[in-house]
A and B are shown apart, each in its own frame.
Chain A
Amino acid sequence: MHADTNAKMINRLSAITDGVTIVVGGPGHPNYKLFLENGATIVCHGEGEETFNDIIRKVQCGDLDWSSVDGISYKVSGAVIQNKPRSLIENIDDLPFPVRNYPLPLTTYRDYYLMAYRTPYVTMMTVRGCPYSCTFCYSSAQWNFKVRQRSPENVLEEIDYLVKDYGIKFIDFLDDVFGLTYSWVEEFSRKLIERKYDLTYKALINPNTFASKQAKAIELLSKSGCKILGIGMQTADSGTLELVKRTPMSREKLIEAVANAKRNRILTFVSFIVGFPKEPEDAPEQIMGLIDDARPTLIDCYPLMYIKDTKLAKQVASGELSEAWSHDEAVERADRVKRHFYRSPRNISAILTWVLMNNPGWYLRMLTQWRLLLNIAGFNIFRSKKDARSRYVFTEDTLDENRTF
């Protein structure tokens, strides 16, 4: 994330604070040397809870010898030291529930991009990690290629507390793949249905998730309150799917998943990416064809971004693969797909009808945001070409400064 800008902020903060331990963490941690050179005391790598608490305990004791704290980088006499990585927390049920409603009320947060959004809402994670290893995605590497899942009881305990204490009405589950298995979804859904809460939620799945039991799983999700199902397809080209290790995946799987969701009156949101190496000229048209066949409620299409430390970025950096499309070309291809979808009266009508039937209050807010909606839909009426390019500039020290983060 704009490592140089963050480094300047750390520099400024360290200059105006005295004797304060500055700990930096998050997805920008690979830039740890830059942060440490600009005044950060410690950069935290990987999962933060245990590492952060170790740091707090040491600061409280006045012990500033960091050598025994796993998962951090720091400086000693000008030299950068990186300790051994911290092991992942084995049982994430043991973690305390995130602090909500303090110091700001829950209603401070909102997400009208979700057409089923109701207030008050929270985001929640039930899984850390992703069972897939798509080469363009950082998720698996971020979690050391391990997947840990909370038990249905633990997730429901948190939901009980959120509903009873804060009156939560909508949950945005941020997991890469919600539920992972049919048995988890079955137990979670049945117990949530029994509670009879006025609660709806959004979940993300993969077209292959739940395999042969997908239809039954989606029915259970719907009955337990799922209103939006995000499905990551990424591309319709079989060669590209294979290249980025996104297999087994097929057009038919997506069409089936969308149909299963629509049967249960769930809004479907399918995401695509264009601009992969070796991607054929007609990849956007293949995506448009798939969209026309599957007919999801919403789609989005993004230009590929090479994320630092992903296998795909390394393959391009080493010359094993070469970029097939410039960033501007990828943006144009992505916008073409979005325009194809959002110029269709049939698709617009389906969206408006779904919202009217399921969440009419959403209109009151979003109709004032018509410029924003047009930009999301790829029309770019209020965005110059230069702006479109600058949107994807993240950091300088990656393989292509204009396309990576």
Chain B
Amino acid sequence: MRIEREIGMRSIEKVGRESGHIKREPVSNLLYPSLKSLQFNPKPEVLLLYFQREISGLGDTFDEFNPLVHLRPQMGLLCLSAAARSIGVEAVVLDQRAIQYSLEDIAS
């Protein structure tokens, strides 16, 4: 299935090239850290996931999308994160446009 091939940052870049209309500049791990390289303190109890547009289908819609030019924070998830903190629960936003992770990383 296409979706299974697309999961993971490296394959996203491949999909971008295949589709022919998503220009991607080389990204560095400094700009886009992997989930494993991030330190969470305290350990989150809730993960708020936002997936790459290329994966969730919006890559075709925003073909001018280039994360080095336009990467808008996801207000809804930031608000949910704050709401969870207000009841003492640590909830972190994992924005896949800016953090490299796969569904398997989440599961583990």
The answer to whether A98 touches B57, judged by C-beta atoms less than 8 angstroms apart, is no
The answer to whether A49 touches B103, judged by C-beta atoms less than 8 angstroms apart, is no
Interface residues of B in 38-82 (CB under 8 A from A): 38, 40, 45-46, 51, 55-58, 60-64, 66, 68-73, 75-76, 78-82
The answer to whether A391 touches B57, judged by C-beta atoms less than 8 angstroms apart, is no
The answer to whether B69 touches A109, judged by C-beta atoms less than 8 angstroms apart, is no
Any B CB within 8 A of the CB of A6: yes
Chain B window 88-108, contacts with chain A (Cβ cutoff 8 Å), 1 for yes, 0 for no? 010111110011000110110
Contact of A57 among B31, B60, B69, B87 (CB under 8 A): B87
Min CB distance, A394 to chain B, in Å?
A: 7
Q: How far is the CA of A5 from the CA of B55 in the complex (A)?
A: 8
Q: How far is the CA of A382 from the CA of B73 in the complex (A)?
A: 28
The answer to whether B80 touches A49, judged by C-beta atoms less than 8 angstroms apart, is yes
The answer to whether A109 touches B3, judged by C-beta atoms less than 8 angstroms apart, is no
Any A CB within 8 A of the CB of B84: yes
* Chain B hits for A124, CB < 8 A: 75
Number of residues of chain B lying within 8 A (CB) of chain A = 54
The answer to whether A122 touches B69, judged by C-beta atoms less than 8 angstroms apart, is no
The answer to whether B21 touches A103, judged by C-beta atoms less than 8 angstroms apart, is no
Any A CB within 8 A of the CB of B18: no
21 CB-based A-B contacts, threshold 8 Å: A1-B56, A5-B3, A8-B3, A12-B103, A52-B84, A60-B89, A95-B82, A95-B83, A98-B79, A99-B78, A103-B93, A104-B98, A110-B69, A111-B69, A123-B73, A174-B75, A366-B69, A371-B23, A372-B64, A372-B66, A394-B57
Task: Using CB atoms and an 8 Å cutoff, list the residues of chain B in contact with chain A.
Answer: 1, 3-4, 7, 20-21, 23, 31, 33, 38, 40, 45-46, 51, 55-58, 60-64, 66, 68-73, 75-76, 78-87, 89, 91-95, 98-99, 103-104, 106-107
Seed contacts A6-B56, A95-B83; 6 additional CB < 8 Å A-B pairs: A5-B57, A26-B76, A48-B79, A56-B89, A125-B75, A387-B60
